[in-house]
Amino acid sequence: MKFYIISRSDKLSNELMATARNYLEDFGMEWNEESPDVVLSIGGDGTLLHAFHKYSEKLADVAFVGIHTGHLGFYADWKPIEIEKLVLSIAKKEYEVIEYPLLEVSIHYQNLEEPAVYLALNESTVKSPDVTLVMDVFLNEHHFERFRGDGLCMSTPSGSTAYNKALGGAIIHPSLQAMQLTEMASINNRVFRTVGSPLVLPGHHRCALRPVKAPDFMVTIDHLQLLHKDVKSIEYRVAYEKVRFARFRAFPFWQRVHDSFIDSELSD
């Protein structure tokens, strides 16, 4: 079995990386950055996002596992003190692979035939660099609303606990094939009106954003931020590709939500 490790590069993370590499190589596993079977992310959820984008074109062959060296994350769920237990489980292949949906983002330009296509693990946001964002929102090719405000965010189910939640969006279990559109400070008065609520769209639906005025937009894909010029439309759908995680034990999602946002020390 081939493996690779990505570290947040702080002292503790680098020490754990060296320890895990030594253990795994002692078990006969091969260090292989080009085509690993398992990728260990040591740091936080941001480190795993970096690992995901590094291998976004090899998702069918790579399974991710996260070790957190800071705050407990939704992707990095192993503790540093558990490194030996984790390494032994990897070496013995005592895990199952589970898959979660991703978001496909296609950005079409006015003077180019081919769109720029990205995959997002958490979310994609759209903002205007200088003025209020004005976008026509289409659902399955039907006009839904004209949005005016600071921006829009489309998230995956696994990303619903991130920026989406901060915007007032719903938390969605990551096993569901869906995507969620949330507003950033929409303008609602007697003249302008939006639905004003997050929209949870099923896997077979499509959403397109089409500019009304300015054609240039700041678009984020997870932690990546890019300025796109002369945009004709931005289209979202649940991707055909999926992200794969190596699971060695039960992953109680709602318990993780409770521990992260309510109180890990409270008992029922």
Q: Is 148 annotated as a binding residue?
A: yes
| Torsion 120-125-126-127 (CA) sign | negative
Q: Is 210 annotated as a binding residue?
A: no
Catalytic position from the list 10, 45, 263, 268: 45
The count of residues in the chain is 268
Beta bridge partners of 138: 143, 208
Joined together, the tokens standing for residue 208 give: 């397109």
Annotated active-site residue 259? The verdict is: no
SS3 172: coil
86, 78 contact by CB (below 8 A)? yes
Q: Is 150 annotated as a binding residue?
A: yes
Q: Is 185 annotated as a binding residue?
A: yes
Please list, in sequence order, all residues whose beta carbon lies within 8 angstroms of the beta carbon of residue 85, skipping any fewer than 6 positions away: none
Beta strand pairing status for 30-31 and 96-109?
unpaired
SS3 2: strand
Q: How far apart are CA 34 and CA 15, in angstroms?
A: 22
SS3 12: helix
CA angle centred on 53, ends 253 and 221, rounded to 5°: 80
**Eight-state DSSP code of residue 171:** P
Q: Is 140 annotated as a binding residue?
A: no
Q: Is 122 annotated as a binding residue?
A: yes
Q: Mind telling me the catalytic residues?
A: 45
Binding positions for NAD(+) are: 45-46, 50, 122-123, 148, 150, 185
Binding positions are: 45-46, 50, 122-123, 148, 150, 185
